[in-house]
């Protein structure tokens, strides 16, 4: 009579969702860092030139700016 039922403990919190979210965010941060480094690396040199630039004179042929008409 008049006795209260014992309070039940809430179910344990499922942390797998937060763990997966943290893993995905870390992977995204790594990918962004890799892309940023790759982008800045491209400013230093390319396949054709080094970071020092082109040191030799370019060879060009004679160019015709007019057309020959009959």
The rounded distance, in Å, linking the Cα atoms of 29 and 47 is 28
pTM: 0.42
Domain hosting 31: range is 17-42
Residue 66 in domain: no
Helices (H) and strands (E) in the chain, counts: 1, 0
Query: Which pLDDT score is estimated for 2?
Result: 66
Which of 70 and 66 is assigned the larger pLDDT? 66
Tally of structural domains, the chain = 1
Q: Which pLDDT score, from 0 to 100, does residue 60 have?
A: 75
Half-sphere exposure of 58 (CA within 13 A, CB side): 7
Give me the pLDDT at residue 63, please: 72
pLDDT tens-digit series, residues 11-58: 888 888 888 999 999 999 999 999 888 777 665 555 555 556 667 777
Would 52 be classed as within a structural domain?
Answer: no
């Amino acid at each position: 009579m008049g006795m209260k039922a014992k309070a039940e403990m809430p179910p344990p919190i499922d942390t797998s969702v937060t763990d997966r979210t943290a893993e995905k965010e870390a992977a995204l941060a790594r990918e962004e860092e890799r892309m940023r480094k790759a982008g800045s690396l491209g400013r230093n040199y390319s396949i054709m030139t080094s970071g020092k630039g082109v040191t030799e004179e370019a060879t060009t042929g004679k160019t015709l700016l007019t057309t020959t008409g009959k």
